[in-house]
Amino acid sequence: MLHKKRRQNHNVQKQEWAKFTYIGKETRFITKLFKDTNSRITFTTKNTIGKHLTMEQKTPQCKYNKSGVCQLMCPDCKMKYTGQTGRLFRVRFQEHIQDFKYNNSRSKFAQHILDNKYAIGNMEDIMEIIHITGKEKKLDALESFHTYKEAKAGNQINDKLAVRGNELFETIIQQDPYKGYTAPQQQNTQK
């Protein structure tokens, strides 16, 4: 009887396994094609508990880990500093904090906080990301535009002498008013 089982095992062809990532009814349709073959089917998924747990432990990629143009808003007077950086926003913010801590005048934002004896806020509360981009030539134009816009609103901390009249910026502002910008009021010259 033992010999009979061994002969039956030799006659059975070796089965191979095929692994499919289960994505829905389409997967079932495709795997039915293998029903009458020597291939056995197994299903896998990318949506596992292990992957969810390990994803939570990783540091999420956030907007502060990018570069471009940002604005820092004074927590007390709500005036804004516009700046560009080719480094991470997080790194540039730390440089402003260091200038504040050590009373350096390299940062106009830190100098504004120190001169007015204001408190400094945390990054999430006072930094607004305006435009995310790599270190490109357009950073200068973006920074100039947003500095100009805040200067027109009387809301700007940057160097006041650096802001000059710009017809192109005026046209953009008039065509698409941005949040926080109010057009200067026309004075009535008639009495």
Provide, for the chain, the percentages of residues in helix, strand and coil under a 3-state DSSP scheme, each rounded to the nearest 5.
45, 15, 40
- Taking only the tens place, the pLDDT of each residue in 96-151 is 999 999 888 889 999 999 999 998 889 999 999 988 887 777 788 888 888 888 88
Structural domain boundaries of the chain?
2-46, 67-175
Q: Report yes or no: 127 and 71 within 8 Å, Cβ to Cβ.
A: yes
- Is the model's pLDDT at 180 over the cut of 50? no
44 by DSSP, 3-state: which? strand
First-to-last alpha carbon distance for the chain, in angstroms, is 121
Q: Would you identify the CATH topology of the domain 67-175?
A: GIY-YIG endonuclease (3.40.1440)
- Quick one: tokens of 136? 């490109």
Q: Report yes or no: 61 and 86 within 8 Å, Cβ to Cβ.
A: no
For the question of whether the overall pTM of this predicted structure is more than 0.75, the answer is no
- Taking only the tens place, the pLDDT of each residue in 69-103 is 999 999 999 999 999 998 999 999 999 999 999 88
How far, rounded to the nearest angstrom, does the alpha carbon of residue 12 sit from its chain's CA centroid? 58
Q: What is the pLDDT of residue 128?
A: 93
- Taking only the tens place, the pLDDT of each residue in 151-173 is 888 888 887 656 677 777 788 77
Mean pLDDT (whole number) for 17-38: 80
Q: Whose CA is closest to 147, among 126, 166, 132, 123?
A: 166
Identify the bridge partners of residue 80 per DSSP, sorted by sequence position.
Answer: 73, 156
